[in-house]
Every structure is written in structure tokens, then in C-alpha cells.
Amino acid sequence: MSARLLDGHVAVVTGASEGLGRAEALALADAGARLVINARSERIDDVADEIRRAGGDVVTVLGDVGDESTADRLVTRAVEAFGRLDILVNNAGIIRDRMVFNMSAEEWDDVLRVNLRSTFLTTRAATDHWRRRAKETGEPVYARIVNTSSEAYASGPPGAANYAASKAGVVALTMSTARGCGAFGVRANAICPRARTEMTSDVFGPGPEAGEDPLSAEHITPLVVYLASPAADPITGRVLVAYGDRIDVMSAPTAEVSLRSASRWSQDELHDVLGGHLAPVPPATDQVVAG
């Protein structure tokens, strides 16, 4: 496959001022994509300058992507600057860790706003644009969505109920988008990256003093470029855990066992059958929150 997998394509990347989002933006530009990059921090201009120095084509949209106006502006800016939109990479995210009994409503709302609401808003804006283009042309469009979830969606870390809930929502949103928008060309997938960034410094600690960091964000970017490329057309509605040299393909939740009652469940029967099957919940242990 060509190293310039994305020549002629236009991508939006949110949360691109640092960490994984920055690495994704640089990799997409290196693969030939023209970019609209977004962040709340003016450091986004430094990333844009880096892309331009490498010969890339990029514009910026400064603002909170949890605002409808910012999310809509990303699509509008892509069309104004480059005439099209092909790829949406949702990376904006925050953590506000606290045990659920100590968590404020504001801490819950802030994390859901940045991690999940923003992903919905950009997805809505992009899919509406693609659906209208498909109607105009009478055929499916080229459309890729790569959302950032986390293994926390499945593990439920004890001190991050807001983060885990937001990332579970991202998975559900991704799967629903893939099924609901596939007919007009959309391919939507979610990644769960383990990457050492400023946001995850308390989780993973410092990197190695020498040699390659197995949790470097650069280990994640080839997967993002691939999912954004024409080669990944058959792949949609999937959740992929990525770190180092490894990709784990997650399966959809499945029934562990099917338990049946002779008629209507009685309390005694529930205790004997269901209670007898389910082992006690193990005590909480430290769990990785990544992504």
C-alpha cells in the first residue's frame, strides 16, 4: 500500500493541540490528508505550524467542541477551505477522577460534555453533511469516523465513573452510527488507546529513560491512518484496543449463560439458580484507565 494513503482526502481532528490528538494530526498529514484541527488551547497553532513546515495543508478552529457552534464550524471550515470532508477523528477528552460518592454533578457533566457530547455533536454535523452529499450525488460518499473510547468502558475503574460512562457512550454511539449511516457510505469505528500522554501521566507514570516507549502515542497513529483510509472500507462498527505492537479486536457483549425457570421466577428459585451461578463480585483492584 502507498505511504500516502490519504492523498486528496480532508480530515477533521479534535483535541489536536497535544498528546494523542497531535500525533494523529501529524500522522494524517504525513499520509497526505489536508486537515482541520481543533482544540480549546492556542497551542493548536504550534501543531498547525509543525504540519505546514513538513509541507502539509492545515487550518485551525479554536474553540470548545462541546459547543454546537464549534462542532458545526469544523464541518463548515473543511468545506470552505478544502471543498469537502472525508474523515472525522474525535479525540477531545478529559478526566476528573473521583469516587462516585464524592463526585460532584459538575465533574460528571464536564467529562460527559467533553468526551461524549462533543463526539455526538461532531458526528451529527459530519453525518448530516455526508447524507446530504449522498442525496445530491445519488451514491454513497467516502466517509470515515474514528472515535476515541477507552478500556474503561468495559472495566469500570472504581475512581472514574464519569470517564467510564462517557467512554461506554462513545462505543454505543460509534456502533449506532455505523449501523445507521452505513447505507450512505459512513464507516465508523472506535479505538481504545493505551498511550502515555499528559492526560494519562498519573495512570502510566514516566516513560523509559532510554529506548522506544511502548506506550508512545506514535504506536497508535498507524491504526488511525489505516481506519481513515480506503483500504479499511470493509471495517465498521468495531472497537479496537491498541497499544505498543498489539491490537485487540473486541467482540460485542454476549450472554454468559441462559438460565430458565419452569414458569415465573420465584425468589427461592432466583436464589438457587441465579445466585448459585453468579460468583461474588471480586473486591475492587487498581485498573487501567487509558485513552
Respond yes or no: is residue 167 known to be catalytic. yes
In this structure, how many other beta carbons lie within 10 angstroms of the beta carbon of residue 17? 23
Spot the catalytic one: 142, 153, 163, 243.
Answer: 163
The position carrying cell 473521583 is 98
Question: Which residues pair with residue 191 across a beta bridge?
Answer: 148, 240
Of 177, 178, 187, 191, which Cα lies nearest the Cα of 223? 191
The position carrying cell 469516523 is 145
Strand-by-strand arrangement of the 10-13 sheet: 58-62, 34-39, 10-13, 87-90, 143-148, 186-193, 239-243, 246-250
Respond yes or no: is residue 69 known to be catalytic. no
Spot the catalytic one: 149, 167, 229, 243.
Answer: 167
The position carrying cell 491504526 is 223
CA gap 18, 23 in Å, rounded: 8
CA gap 7, 43 in Å, rounded: 26
Spot the catalytic one: 149, 150, 166, 229.
Answer: 150
Catalytic residue list: 150, 163, 167
